[in-house]
Structures are given as C-alpha cells and as structure tokens.
Structure 1
Amino acid sequence: MDLHTITEVVRRPAARPGADWHPGDAWLAGGTWLYSVEQPDLHRLIDLTALPWDPLVPSEAGLGIGATCTISELYACALPAEWIAAPLFAKSCEAFLSSFKVWSAATVGGNICMSLPAGPMITLTVALEARYEIWAADGSARTVDALSFVTGDNENILAPGEILRRIDIPAHALRKRTAHRRFSLTRLGRSTVFLIGTQTPGTRDLLLTVTAGTTRPLRIGFDTLPDDRTLRQRLDDLPSDIWFDDPNGTPGHRRHLTQHFAEEIRRELMAGGPG
C-alpha cells in the first residue's frame, strides 16, 4: 500500500536513532504490517535495517537476536546440539500466517512490537525466558523480561521514541526439554492458541507459557509436575477477561483448548517425550 502522508524516509539513521524522534515518526524494519494498512498519522519513516545489528549472536551465555533479524534468518540458523530447545525456533516461524516472501522481510523485533496475541516470536521468547534490551530516546537503555513487555492486544510498554534493540535468550533455557501445542482454524491460519511447556533436564519442574488465546502472554510455573487437577485449577484461576475474543475463537473456546493442550503437554513431559 502507498503511504501518501509520508514526506521523508531516513535511510541512514544515527547509531542511536531515538535521539531524533518526533511525533509522526515510525520505525521501519520489514514493513510487512506498516505497508499493509493506512497510516494517516505518520509523516516520516526511520529505516532500522541500515544499522549494523548482527541478526544472531550465539555465545556461552545464550543467543542474542538483533531486532532486525528476519524470520528467514531465524528459521535457517544452526544452533549448538546441546540447545535441545532449538526445534521451537522452526515451529514458531512456521506459526506465521505468511508466505516465504514475507519471511524474508518480516523481523523478529517487528513481530514482538506489534504485540498481537498470536505473535509467534512473543510465544517463543517468553517461553525461553528471554530478556529484551530497549533503547530510549535520551540514549539510555533498559532490560525487561519478555513476559512483561506485552500488556494487551496490540499494546506494550514502549514509550514514544523507544526501540527494541535486542532479544537475549539465556543458555539455560535453550537446554530445556520442550513440548508445544498449537491450534488454528485452518492449516496455515493465525493461531487460536499456542502453548509451550519447558522442563529443566534432570528435574520434574514445569514452566508453561500460554499465548494467542490470551490478550497477553502468561507463564505458569511449577517446581514439580502437577497432577491434572492442579494444572486445571491454575488455569481456571486465570482472570476471565484475559481470554481473547476474535473471529478465530471465542474466549470459552480458547480456554477449553488451552486446558486440553496444557494437559497434553504435562503428560508428554511427564512421560519423557521428545525434547
């Protein structure tokens, strides 16, 4: 879509682009959403892809993901064998409602900052206990837990001029055993629910991440694997207004699916299923 209100595109922004932020600006990464709808309040785009941000930086501490890393780059990355949670990367990329052409443009940071309930990069990074590095317009930086970033449907904690710079996934989370479940109305449709369970090797703990069916991501932790009644009770205790409602599923439908798939995940990890 042509954006007729745009009067300037900054192709070579400063290393800290937030210092030059003005009302009517927008960060441009893949632009897969930005160019898909009218943007009447925008007048200038600041192209982040020109900045020299490494897409993927593995280290002993874990995996750093630049916010402008494309979905294609993330999907194709080769990770150390001991990071047994690595299959989640491909599964999360495949949860996009998009073609391979979009994969080549859409970015990890863009999907997170859109902050939609079905954002699969949100699911992935919350489940793997990531932390986000955020740059402010005044040159300062802060780091937040991925879980606290999205606050509602298309809502997050970013202030005007702030930018998501980097996602850091710790090595201990990448070494966890995992199980996941996802449901959509069609084979290539938007997620109605997307759940991931992780378990520390050699323990019986459980960290369950619930997304897509809720307006913001949730993580429910257990020191030891719960029985089915305890797990169901924890899900029943969630606030009634947390469940998302759109044409892909009613709150009741999403709640039912979440309970069903959470129990499947519990059983899979209890039985020592695929990591």
Structure 2
Amino acid sequence: MDLDVDTVRVAWSRADCVLRPGETFLGGGTYLYSEPVPPGVTGLVDLTGLGWEPWSVDGSGLRVAGTCTLEELLAGPGGLGVPGPYRALGIVAPCVAALTLSAKVARTATVGGNLALGLPAGSMAGLFAALAARAVVWTPDGGTREVPVADLVTGAGVVALSRGEVLREVLVPEAVLRQRTAVRRASLTPTGRTAAMVTGRAGEDGAWITLTGSVGRPLGRAVRDHAALDRWIDTIDLAAPTAPTALPAPTDSGVPDGLAGGGGWYEDTHGSRAWRAAMTRRLAHEVLDDLGDPT
C-alpha cells in the first residue's frame, strides 16, 4: 500500500462532497489501497461518513447504497443472497463470489466502488445490469441524475461519471425482484479472475441476457431462443478487442483516457479473445436453459 496523500477528510453531508483540487472520493478503498496513488491525487474524501443505509426495500423496489459493502449486500433481503420472496436475488451470492475476495475485503469493498472502477471482471455490473437497475448519481451542482447500470460502464475501466459525481445508490424495480434469474461464470483457474460471466433474467419479452467479464463493457439483449442467442453473439466483433495493459490516471473529467472500447471481446492475461468468446457462448446457452425451466 502506497498512500502518499496530503489530506483525508470525511464527508458528513452532501456539501462535504464538493471536491477540492487534487481530491478524489474514497469508498471502501480496497482497490485504491492496493495501487500507487494516481498522479495528481493529493487528498481523499471518505464517503462512509455519510451514514447511508446499506440497503432497503420499499414499494418501488430494492435500494442499494453506493457505500454498501459486499458483506452487507450478502446479508440483504433473504440473507446471504438467499432469494426468499425476492427470487431474483438468488444471483447475488454467486456474483459476489465471482470477485474471489477474502472475508476481510468483503467487509470493506463497496458496491459503488466496484461499479465505478468499470473493470470487466467487476461482477457488480453484471449483477445489477441483469436486475434492470438504475444508478442514482449526485452531480456537483447539487442535482441528481439516473443512468441504467447497463450503461454506466462504457468501456474497460471507463464509466459515465464525471469528476465530482457520486454514485449515491442503485435501484432495482420491485417487479424485477420476483423474476427468475441465473448466472454462470468461467475463469482460467478455479480461483482466478473472472474471464467470462453471463447473467440472465426471465422477463415478459423472453430472457434478458447480459455479458460481462469477456467484453469491455456490459452487453445485454432480450432473446427468446438459442438460435437468437447465437445470432447475437455472432455480431460481437472478434477483431475489435478492448485490452488495456493498465488503467491510466483519471483526467480532469474523472474518466481515464484511452480506454473507451467498442463492443469487441476483451483480452488480457486471464484469457484470450477467442477463448472468452467460446466460453461466453457456452455459458449464455446454459443460462438460457436455466431460465427456461419453470421450476
């Protein structure tokens, strides 16, 4: 850990979330603490002081705070990812497990932090995109905007958040909580980083399938049968990879340069493009089979 910063201050209110020159937000910090401080970062603003309730369920659905830890998410409705009356949440536990993290990290790492990193292996994007969730974002001018979680990550390491914006919470519609879901994951080794993950949800228009891990940004589509699934996967460009060697420092806009990727297959040391494409196809068909089972 190399945190050579000049200041750390706790945000107790929204007014404290206005960034000063050189500052960046701190959630759980598990990724930030594992890397050298990005160039130009001299101070941290700790969001955990805002005291947000980790999660809640009301008439509109499930609300998960940006500072909700992965451990708290697992202890959400039903407990430890067990769906109970909210059957869609059965994929929570396997999506958290896909991060292959220790109990210590799970107690600290946050949902918002995982989403804001925008890494292909960040399984919170696959989870909440499958659940048709929307991200509520605080803007620096005191306003609020919403963006579908499926559109929040726009490339490998690129998210639709400008400097000074805070991911306040994600909202899962109440109707979605009662739908059937499924998930499959693959990696090169039993405890390796996720190289391909497919999440799915059974909806009125067929199965909604979301691909993450194997692509630079979440890709989702409604399909009704295996033939339609194959036709969609065939359109993903094998020749348009998104394969950064490292995440660059944020720019003034808060978005890393040079990583805005197209819809191609991702490649790094955890899997080639061709292997990821083949694994994704297999996993997607398995998910579709699961969603087709009425039990």
TM-score, with structure 1 as normaliser: 0.92
Runs of 4+ that moved beyond 4 A: none
* Residue 21 (structure 1) shift: 1.2
Instruction: Say how many residue pairs are matched.
Output: 266
Contact 1:179 1:197 in 2 (8 A): yes
CA distance in 2, matches of 1:168, 1:230: 29
- Please say if 1:31 is aligned against 2:29: yes
In the TM superposition, what are the counterparts of 1:158-197 in structure 2 within 5 Å?
158-197=161-200
- Please say if 1:157 is aligned against 2:160: yes
Contact 1:211 1:217 in 2 (8 A): yes
CA distance in 1, matches of 2:15, 2:136: 13
Contact 1:13 1:46 in 2 (8 A): no
* Residue 179 (structure 1) shift: 1.8
Q: Which runs of 5+ in 1 are unaligned?
A: none
- In structure 2, the CA distance between the partners of 1:141 and 1:12, relative to structure 1 (3 Å rule), is closer
Contact 2:198 2:280 in 1 (8 A): yes
Contact 2:71 2:107 in 1 (8 A): yes
- Report what 2:256 is aligned to: none
In the TM superposition, what are the counterparts of 1:103-118 in structure 2 within 5 Å?
103-118=106-121
- Report what 1:213 is aligned to: 214
Q: Which amino acid aligns with 1:252?
A: A
- Report what 1:15 is aligned to: 14
CA distance in 1, matches of 2:160, 2:237: 21
CA distance in 2, matches of 1:204, 1:165: 30
Residue 87 of structure 2: SS of its match in structure 1?
coil
Residue 91 of structure 1: SS of its match in structure 2?
helix
* Residue 120 (structure 1) shift: 1.0
Residue 264 of structure 1: SS of its match in structure 2?
helix
* Residue 24 (structure 1) shift: 1.6
* Residue 51 (structure 1) shift: 0.5
Contact 2:77 2:86 in 1 (8 A): no
CA distance in 2, matches of 1:118, 1:157: 17
> CA offsets, 1:91-112, max 9 Å, x none?
1111113100000000000000
Residue 52 of structure 2: SS of its match in structure 1?
coil
Residue 32 of structure 2: SS of its match in structure 1?
coil
Q: Which amino acid aligns with 1:208?
A: I
* Residue 139 (structure 1) shift: 0.7
- In structure 2, the CA distance between the partners of 1:205 and 1:12, relative to structure 1 (3 Å rule), is closer
- Report what 1:70 is aligned to: 69
| CA RMSD, Structure 1 to Structure 2 (Å) | 1.5
Q: Which amino acid aligns with 2:198?
A: L
* Residue 209 (structure 1) shift: 0.6
Q: Which amino acid aligns with 1:29?
A: G
CA distance in 1, matches of 2:15, 2:197: 35
Contact 2:11 2:48 in 1 (8 A): no
Q: Which stretch of the first structure deviates more once superposed, 180-189 or 76-85?
A: 76-85
- In structure 2, the CA distance between the partners of 1:16 and 1:132, relative to structure 1 (3 Å rule), is farther
> CA offsets, 1:164-205, max 9 Å, x none?
0111111111111112110012222211101011113xx571
Q: Percent identity?
A: 35
Q: Which stretch of the first structure deviates more once superposed, 243-252 or 258-267?
A: 258-267
* Residue 13 (structure 1) shift: 4.1
